[in-house]
Amino acid sequence: MCACTHTCTSGQDPARSTCLSEPCALRASCNCPPSHQGWTRFTNTKVFLGRGVGISHWGSTPEIIGYEAHDVGLSASILGLGYIHDALVRCRTGAHLQLPCDDCDAEQVLAWGMAGSGFEWYDTGQSHIVSRVTFRNCGVRSGDDDGEMSGCGDGDKGCLPLSSVWLLLTHSDEHVPEFMQATSGISYESCGLRYRFKDYIVDRGDVHGNGLNSTVSARLQSWYDADGSASGLGVPTIIGSAVQDAAEW
């Protein structure tokens, strides 16, 4: 941790890269020069039974390799430049949810709800690459799903009605997203809802958004599906936003 705390900040303002040396010792005003920046690698990490995020990284340049997440609210959330490769995300295993804490037992999960989502894309100047990932039993079940084995339903094996394989944040009017996200080698096994804009106006039956107006990142969201596996088209594809106020664009 740098002694010059006024210039060495963490979090999203801005997201910092891992420094291979003590920044203040480099006499660079406590900033890490590019030549000393490195990646933080997590290998063969396994998480399970968590209402929140399985793994969260608010710096920059994390590598998450060989990751497994089982019975979680959200598998991962990262800021900055990040890379996830070779992962299995089982949002629901089919077991009764018995969370390992006194104040969030299965009855409370049933009453309050627990998400069952795969991965959340950020939307303010970030850059994520996700490759060779299998999503299983993620996303809320709908009438279009194949029977009761797809996605996650309700009860203490279920998930919240806004759960989806992919969540796309859309709250920003700055840092217009160009190709901030790219995927390849994506597999879906018994998944329900696959895509959802988060923080966007929604009015669908008993599901309501948070009242935010339309944003730049919602209208200009773009995603490079390098091999068409995320979209299911099987060819390189650009997945673009299709919000109503974008009209024919």
Residue-wise pLDDT for 206-220, tens only, equals: 444 445 567 777 777
Residue 238 lies in a domain: yes
Of 200 and 96, which is predicted with more confidence? 96
Q: Where are the beta strands (DSSP E) in 95-235?
A: 117-121, 127-136, 166-169, 181-189, 195-198, 203-204, 207-208, 222-225
Residue 114 lies in a domain: yes
Residue 71 lies in a domain: yes
| Cβ atoms 148, 168 nearer than 8 A | no
Residue 67 lies in a domain: yes
pLDDT in tens, 45-69: 999 988 889 998 887 788 999 999 9
Q: Which residues of 128-167 are buried (b: 16+ CB within 10 A; e: fewer)?
A: bbbbebbbbbbbbbeeebeeeebbbbeebbbbbbbbbbbb
Residue 12 lies in a domain: no
**Residue 204, SS3 per DSSP:** strand
Can you give the pTM of this predicted structure? 0.79
Of 16 and 46, which is predicted with more confidence? 46
| Percent of residues, the chain, with pLDDT higher than 70 | 69
Which structural domain range is residue 129 located in? 40-246
pLDDT at 5 over 50: no
Instruction: Extract the tokens encoding 57.
Output: 């990284």
Instruction: Extract the tokens encoding 5.
Output: 């705390």
Q: How many domains does the chain have?
A: 1
Residue 223 lies in a domain: yes
Q: List the beta bridge partners of residue 108.
A: none
Q: Which residues of 178-211 are buried (b: 16+ CB within 10 A; e: fewer)?
A: eebbbbbebebebbbbbebbbbbbbeeeeeeeee
| Cβ atoms 1, 19 nearer than 8 A | no
Instruction: Extract the tokens encoding 245.
Output: 């106020």
Residue 10 lies in a domain: no
pLDDT in tens, 172-187: 766 665 667 899 999 9
Q: Where are the beta strands (DSSP E) in 22-172?
A: 37-38, 40-43, 46-57, 62-78, 81-90, 117-121, 127-136, 166-169
pLDDT at 10 over 60: no
Instruction: Extract the tokens encoding 175.
Output: 């840092």
Residue 24 lies in a domain: no
